[in-house]
Amino acid sequence: MKKKHRMTFLLICLGLLYLAVFAAGFLSPYDVAEQDRELPFAPPSRIHFTDTRGALHLRPSVCLLAEDSVQFGVYHEDTQKCFPIRFFVDGPQYKLGGLLACTRHLFGVDPPARLFLLGTDGYGRDLFSRFLHGGQISLAAGLLATLLSLAIGVLLGTASGFFGGWLDAVVMRFGELFIALPWLYLLFALRAFLPLNINPSQAFLLLIAVIGSVGWARPARLIRGVVLTGKERHYVLAARIFGGSPLYLVRRHILPQTYSIILTQAVLLIPQYILAEVTLSFLGLGVAEPEPSWGNMLASVQQYHVLVSYWWMLLPGIALVPVFLGYVLLANTLQARAT
C-alpha cells in the first residue's frame, strides 16, 4: 500500500474508533451504572438468526438468560423465549458530546431480555456500554495529556533553544531527570503527593495534569535542537536585520520548523498516555468506580476466579491492541516519510 494511502487509511481507522467512542451514548444499549443483580458475570449474548421454530430471519434475536440453580455464574439459555433486536430504540437518557440530551440508541431489546454484547461484570453491568464510555475517558485522557506535554515541551524547548545560557542549562538538566527516571515511578510519586479522595471530574483533570507533566522532556529536548539550528538560518538572520523582534522570529520562522517534530511526538505520546491512564486506573490510582475506564474495568481480572472463569473481562485490555497498532503503524509511516 502506498505511503500516502496507508496514512489516510490509518487515520480513517483511528478516526472511526474515536468517533465510536464519542458516540458512546448512542451506541450503547444500557446506562453504565445500570445493574442487573440477577445476571452477574454473564457471558456475551448469543445472537440468533433463527426463530423459535428454526426458521431463518434477517433480524437477529437474543434469548432469555437464566442462572443455573446450582452453580454460581453459569447460565443457560431458554431457546423458547427469544426476543428480536430492535434498532433506533428508545432507552436511558444520555448526553451526546456532553451537551445534547438524547434518548435514542442504535439498538436494544425489550425487557426482560438482555443484550450483553460483551457480557457483564460482577455487578451485572453491561460491559459493552461500559467499554464504550470507558473508552471516552481513556482515549480523551491520552489526547489531552499529550496536548499538555507538547505545550510544555514547545514552550520550554523553544525558550531553551532560543535564549540559551543558564535557562537552557537549567531546563535541560531538569528535563534529563524526567527522561531518565522510570515513568511509572514518576507517575506514582506525583500521584502519591496529591489527594486520593476527589470527585470524578477532578480526578480526571488531575490525572491528565499528572500524566502530561511527566513526559514533556523528550519533546522539549527535540524542539530545542531544532530551534538551535533553526535560529541560525539565514532567513532568520535576514528577518533580524529588518528588525524583527524575538517573538516575531519565533512565531514566523522558527516554530514552523518544529511542526513535523511535534507531529511525530504526538503520535508517539498519545498511545503511551492512554496506557498511562489505563495503568493508573487499573492500580486504583486513576479513575475510580463507578466511573468506567478501561483500566479499572481490567482491575477485576486480578481476582483469581474472574481470571479463570470469565474471559470476556479481558476485552478492555485486548481493545488496546488495535489502538496501539494504529498509532505504531502511523508512527512508522511518518518516519518513513521523513527519510
Per-residue binder mask for another protein (CB under 8 A), 22-41, x = binder: --------------------
Q: In this structure, what DSSP letter does residue 97 have?
A: T
Between 113 and 331, CB nearer to another protein = 331
Site for another protein contains 325 (CB under 8 A): yes
Q: Which residues contact 167 (CB under 8 A, 6 or more apart)?
A: 159, 160
Question: Least CB distance from residue 291 to another protein, whole Å?
Answer: 18
Cα–Cα distance, 83 to 323 (Å, whole number):
34
Site for another protein contains 179 (CB under 8 A): yes
Question: Is the N-terminal amide bond of 43 cis, ω within 30° of 0?
Answer: no
Between 56 and 321, CB nearer to another protein = 321
Between 47 and 196, CB nearer to another protein = 196
Per-state percent for the chain, helix, strand, coil, to nearest 5 = 60, 15, 25
Please state the length of the chain: 339
Question: Least CB distance from residue 216 to another protein, whole Å?
Answer: 16
Which helix (H) or strand (E) segment holds residue 104: the answer is strand 100-109
Among candidates 34, 15, 30, which has minimal Cα distance to 106? 30
Site for another protein contains 192 (CB under 8 A): yes
Per-residue binder mask for another protein (CB under 8 A), 254-273, x = binder: --x-----------------
Stretch that binds another protein, among 5-13, 35-43, 138-146, 317-325 (CB under 8 A): 317-325
Indicate which single residue of 106, 167, 239, 288 sits in contact with another protein (rule: CB under 8 A).
239
Site for another protein contains 218 (CB under 8 A): no
- Which cell is 159 given? 525558550
Site for another protein contains 1 (CB under 8 A): no
Site for another protein contains 114 (CB under 8 A): no
Cα–Cα distance, 17 to 99 (Å, whole number):
21
Contact 53, 134 (CB under 8 A): no
- Which cell is 210 given? 499528572
Q: In this structure, what DSSP letter does residue 300 have?
A: G
The burial class, CB within 10 Å (0-12 / 13-18 / 19+), for 292 is buried
Site for another protein contains 240 (CB under 8 A): yes
Question: Least CB distance from residue 59 to another protein, whole Å?
Answer: 35
> Which residues are at the interface with another protein (CB under 8 A)?
177, 179-186, 188-189, 191-196, 233-235, 237-244, 248, 253, 256, 275, 278-279, 282-285, 298, 301-302, 304, 307-308, 311, 314, 317-318, 320-322, 324-325, 328-329, 332
